[in-house]
Amino acid sequence: MTANKRRSVISWLFLLPSLLGVIIFFVAPFFVVIYYSMIDNPIQNNFVGFENYVTVFNNAAFRQASFNTLKFSLVSVPLAVALSLFLAVVMESRIPGKSYFRSFFLSPLMVPTASVVLIWQVLFNYNGIVNKAITSFGGGRIDFLKSDYAQVVIVVLFLWKNLGYNMILFMAALSSIPKELIEVAALEHASKAQTFWYIKVRFMSSTILFVTIMSLINSFKVFREVYLMTGDYPYSSLYMLQHFMNNTFASLDYQKLSSAAIIMFVVVSVLVFIMYQVENFYGKDVEG
């Protein structure tokens, strides 16, 4: 065995504990789930092919839940990326007490979920603070969590929780862009917008990908707060895929649940794959 080959084998040994755990706890059961998704019930075990998938697709609750989840992610993730980039650019300019602001923006990370839920209820309940403010300006009260504004409330919550973290990622990326490049651009009469889009954004493409991935994870995690605030059956625009899964789990319908899980798995994989391809395309000539 050559030295290189030997070291490559050793590198697999380092990987082994994690790989074993992941296979036992996450990958192997997934195959069981695939199996479950293709049988009619756990007692008779008749193979039914994709019948369960068809049933799930035709399920109105599943459709509603997918639509809501997709809508939420499509709105909140780009918003989180754009706003945190904006905040990072703002923080880049000279303002006093920068590091304090940084801490303040990061602080939502540590607030326990339950307190977040409590405060959000105080704010957005029908009798809550926001409504109080609206009525004092002569507006009508809105039952936020039971109206079409419900998703807006959740988007705000999501942004509040995650902007700080994203912002720091962007601040770091902005400061790592070579100064010479920006100076050259200025010498060649590039406008500020041009410098921003053609140099800074391209240089940050891997950070943007990373922030998008993290935001996507966190957009799924917001379910925790939604669930604690509104329970099993919230207003229809808040009914997420996670609600669907939770309720299906409660009713012990493993077939439906397994098919839904597999569908979600495939969709998320495809999404991540596309993001990687896009990033590769834009960032390939930039040394990250």
Partner 1 sequence: MIRSADETAFIAAGNRKRAEYIKTGIVTLLAVIFAAIFLLPIVLTVTNSFMSPSEINANYGSIFATTQKGGKVFVSKTVNLKLIPDMITFSQYFTVLLRSPEYLFKFWNSVIYVVPIVVVQLLIAMLASFGFARYDSRIKRAIFFLYIVMMLMPYQVTLVPNFLVARFLNIYGGRWAIWLFGFFSPFAVYLFTKFMKRIPQEVMEAAAIDGANEWMIFTRICMPLCKGGLASIAILVFFDYWNMVEQPLILLPDSDLHPLSVFLSKINTGEISLAFAVAVIYLIPPLLIFLYGEDYLVEGISYQGGIKG
Between helices 51-58 and 60-92, what is the axis angle to 10°?
A: 70
Among 53, 62, 72, 105, binds partner 1 (CB under 8 A): 105
269 is a site residue for partner 1 (CB under 8 A): yes
| Minimum separation from the CB atom of position 104 to partner 1 (A) | 4
Tokens of 154: 């959740």
CB-wise, 112 or 188, nearer to partner 1? 112
| Minimum separation from the CB atom of position 223 to partner 1 (A) | 7
| Minimum separation from the CB atom of position 126 to partner 1 (A) | 8
CB-wise, 61 or 168, nearer to partner 1? 168
Three-class SS of 221-267:
HCHHHHHHHHCCCCCHHHCCHHHHHHHHHHCCCHHHHHHHHHHHHHH
Residue where the block lists tokens 């069981």: 32
| Residue type, position 286, single letter | V
CB-wise, 147 or 206, nearer to partner 1? 206
Residue where the block lists tokens 């053609």: 198
Among 1, 43, 95, 193, binds partner 1 (CB under 8 A): 95
Contact pattern from residue 124 through residue 163 relative to partner 1, giving x for each residue in contact according to CB under 8 A and a dash for the rest: -x-xxx-xx---------------------------x---
> Phi, psi at residue 39, to the nearest 5°?
-115, 165
Q: What is the DSSP string of 109-153?
A: GGS-HHHHHHHHHHHHSTTSHHHHHHHHTTPPP--GGGSTTHHHH
Residues 6+ apart with CB under 8 A from 161: 108, 109, 116, 218, 222
113 is a site residue for partner 1 (CB under 8 A): yes
Among 72, 144, 158, 165, binds partner 1 (CB under 8 A): 165
Tokens of 3: 């030295």
Burial annotation 109-134 (CB, 10 A radius, 16+ → b, else e): eeeeeeebbeebeebbeeebebbeee
| Minimum separation from the CB atom of position 59 to partner 1 (A) | 16
CB-wise, 188 or 284, nearer to partner 1? 284
Contact pattern from residue 218 through residue 257 relative to partner 1, giving x for each residue in contact according to CB under 8 A and a dash for the rest: --xx-xx--xx------------xx--xx--x----x--x
Among 24, 54, 70, 74, binds partner 1 (CB under 8 A): 24
Contact pattern from residue 33 through residue 62 relative to partner 1, giving x for each residue in contact according to CB under 8 A and a dash for the rest: x--x--------------------------
